[in-house]
Amino acid sequence: MSPAGTAAAAAAPAAPVWRRESIRRVLTLAAGLIVLTAGLLASFALGAVYVSPADVVDAIFGESDRVSRQIVWNLRIPRSLLACLVGANLAVAGALLQGIMRNPLAAPTTVGVSSGAGLAATAVLILAPGLPAFLPLIAFSGGMTAAVVVYLLSWQPALGTSPVRMILAGVAITTMLGALTTGLMTAYSDRVQPVVLWMAGNLVARSWNHFGLVWPYSLLGLAGALLLVRHLNVMQLGDETARGLGVPVERVRFIAMAIASLLAASAVSVAGLVGFVGLMVPHVMRLLGGHNHAYVVAASAVGGATLLVWADLAARLVIAPLEVPVGILTALLGGPFFIFLLYKRRFIGGRGV
C-alpha cells in the first residue's frame, strides 16, 4: 500500500471518534440549557409565595400592577438571572485556572482570588457601605492583587511559573487573607451583621441593580475566556511544548488569571463567598465532554448557571418561608465532591503523593 493509502487508512477510524465526541458535547450543552431553562421557570414560580404559570407569563409580558407581577418581575427574575451570572462567572473562572495550572483542584477559592476579592469587599461593606456601585471594581482589585502575589510567589528566574507552586502559594495566600478578613470583622464587630450573611454566599434581596452591576463584567470576562481557548488547548501539552509551538505561555497564564479574577470578583461582590462552583463544574463538564477548552468554557458557563439557579431555588424552599444561604448548599455539594476528586487523583487514601 502506498504511503498515502496507509495514512488514509490510519485516519479513517479517527473520524467516527471525533463525531461521537462532538455529538456528546452538543448533547451535553443542549441538556444543560434545558435544565437551566426549567430551573429558571421553576424559580419564577416557586418560593414563600406560589405564583401560577399563568401569573408568571402575565408578570413577564403583561402590564398589570398585581402583587404577583411585583414578586416575579422585581424580586424573582433579577435574582434568578443574577444566579445565572454568578454561577457562570465562578465556573468559567475555575475552568481557566484549571487550564493554566493543569490541575483539577484549581479554583478561585483555592488560589486566593476569591479570598482577595472577599477581603476587599468586606472592607468596603464595613468601612464605606455607601459605595455599592464600585464594589465589583474594588473586589476585582482585591482578587487581582491576590492573583499577582500568587503569580510572583510561584515565579522562578529562567524557569517561569510552576502550576504546583501556584497552587501551594494560593493555599498560603488564601489562609492569610482569610485571617485578615476575620480580623477586620472582629475589629468592627458592631458592623458585621450584613457581612456575615454576605460571606456565607447569599442572593437574598438581590435586585435589577445588582444584575446591572455584574453583567458587563460577565460579558467581558466570558468573551476574554473564549479568546484564550486555542492557547489553553496547546498549553495542556506542557509549557515547553507550548512555547515551541509559539504560545507565549507566561503572558497567556497572566491574562487568564486576570480574566478569572474579574469573573470571580464580580460574582463575589454581589453574592459573597459561594464556594466549590468553580471547582466542581469544570471537572464535571470535562468528564462529560472532553478537554477541548472551547467546549469546556461554554459548558462550564451553562453548568455553573444551572447549578446556582437550582441551588438558589432549593435555598428558598428547604425551610420556607426562611431561606438558607446558597453558599451553604454549594458547600454541602462541593465538600463530598472535593473528597471524591482527591481519592480519584490519589492524593489521599494511602496512595500517591
Examine residue 162 and state whether it is found in any structural domain, yes or no: yes
Examine residue 349 and state whether it is found in any structural domain, yes or no: no
Q: What average pLDDT does the segment 49-63 reach?
A: 85
pLDDT of 347 > 60? The answer is no
* pLDDT band for position 41 (cuts 50, 70, 90): very high
Q: What average pLDDT does the segment 66-74 reach?
A: 87
CA distance 235 to 7: 27
Predicted TM-score (pTM) of the model is 0.87
Query: In the numeric block, which cell numbers belong to residue 305?
Result: 448557571
Question: What pLDDT is recorded for position 1?
Answer: 47
Contact present, 149 and 112 (Cβ < 8 Å):
yes
Examine residue 335 and state whether it is found in any structural domain, yes or no: yes
Query: In the numeric block, which cell numbers belong to residue 106?
Result: 484549581
Higher per-residue confidence, 224 vs 125? 224
Examine residue 251 and state whether it is found in any structural domain, yes or no: yes
- Beta strands 160-161 and 155-156: pairing type? antiparallel
Question: What pLDDT is recorded for position 77?
Answer: 94
Q: What average pLDDT does the segment 311-330 reach?
A: 90
Examine residue 131 and state whether it is found in any structural domain, yes or no: yes
* DSSP H or E run through 156: strand 155-156
Please list, in sequence order, all residues whose beta carbon lies within 8 angstroms of the beta carbon of residue 245, skipping any fewer than 6 positions away: 234, 237
| Beta-carbon-side half-sphere exposure of residue 285 (alpha carbons within 13 Å) | 36
CA distance 64 to 309: 27
pLDDT of 55 > 90? The answer is no
CA distance 125 to 116: 14
Find the range with the poorest average confidence among 108-122, 190-204, 325-339.
Answer: 190-204
Q: What average pLDDT does the segment 68-78 reach?
A: 90
CA distances from 28 to 31, 86, 92, 286 (A): 5, 21, 16, 11
Q: In 3D, which of 148, 325, 134, 316 has the Cα closest to residue 213?
A: 134
Residue 161, SS3 per DSSP: strand
pLDDT of 198 > 80? The answer is no
Neighbours of 278 (CB within 10 A): 35
For residue range 243-294, what is the model confidence (pLDDT) as tens digits?
Answer: 999 999 889 988 998 899 889 988 988 898 898 899 899 989 998 988 899 9
Q: Determine if residue 201 is left, alpha or beta; phi over 0 gives left, psi from -120 to 50 gives alpha, anything else beta.
A: left
* DSSP H or E run through 164: helix 163-187
Residue 347, SS3 per DSSP: coil
CA distance 252 to 254: 5
pLDDT of 4 > 60? The answer is no
Question: Would you give the distance in Å from CA 30 to the centre of its chain?
Answer: 20
Question: What pLDDT is recorded for position 7?
Answer: 45
Question: What pLDDT is recorded for position 346?
Answer: 56
Mean pLDDT for the chain overall: 85
Examine residue 75 and state whether it is found in any structural domain, yes or no: yes
Q: How many domains does the chain have?
A: 1
CA distance 211 to 272: 14
Question: What pLDDT is recorded for position 310?
Answer: 96
Higher per-residue confidence, 340 vs 217? 217
For residue range 100-159, what is the model confidence (pLDDT) as tens digits?
Answer: 888 777 888 888 888 898 898 888 888 877 766 677 778 888 888 998 898 888 887 766
Burial class (CB in 10 A: 0-12, 13-18, 19+), 200: middle
Q: In 3D, which of 280, 23, 305, 257 has the Cα closest to residue 153?
A: 257
Return the top range by mean pLDDT from 48-62, 82-96, 103-117.
82-96
- pLDDT > 90 in the chain, percent: 36
CA distance 172 to 297: 27
CATH code, 125: 1.10.3470.10
Question: What pLDDT is recorded for position 17?
Answer: 67
* pLDDT band for position 345 (cuts 50, 70, 90): low
CA distance 291 to 297: 10
Examine residue 14 and state whether it is found in any structural domain, yes or no: no
Q: What average pLDDT does the segment 51-75 reach?
A: 84
Question: What pLDDT is recorded for position 158?
Answer: 66
Q: What average pLDDT does the segment 46-71 reach?
A: 84
Domain around 312? 21-344
Residue 190, SS3 per DSSP: helix
Query: In the numeric block, which cell numbers belong to residue 346?
Result: 490519589
Question: What pLDDT is recorded for position 349?
Answer: 46
Examine residue 52 and state whether it is found in any structural domain, yes or no: yes
For residue range 13-23, what is the model confidence (pLDDT) as tens digits?
Answer: 445 766 888 88
Query: In the numeric block, which cell numbers belong to residue 5?
Result: 493509502
CA distance 328 to 315: 9
Q: What average pLDDT does the segment 195-224 reach?
A: 88
CA distances from 68 to 53, 186, 308, 314, 344 (A): 11, 41, 24, 20, 48
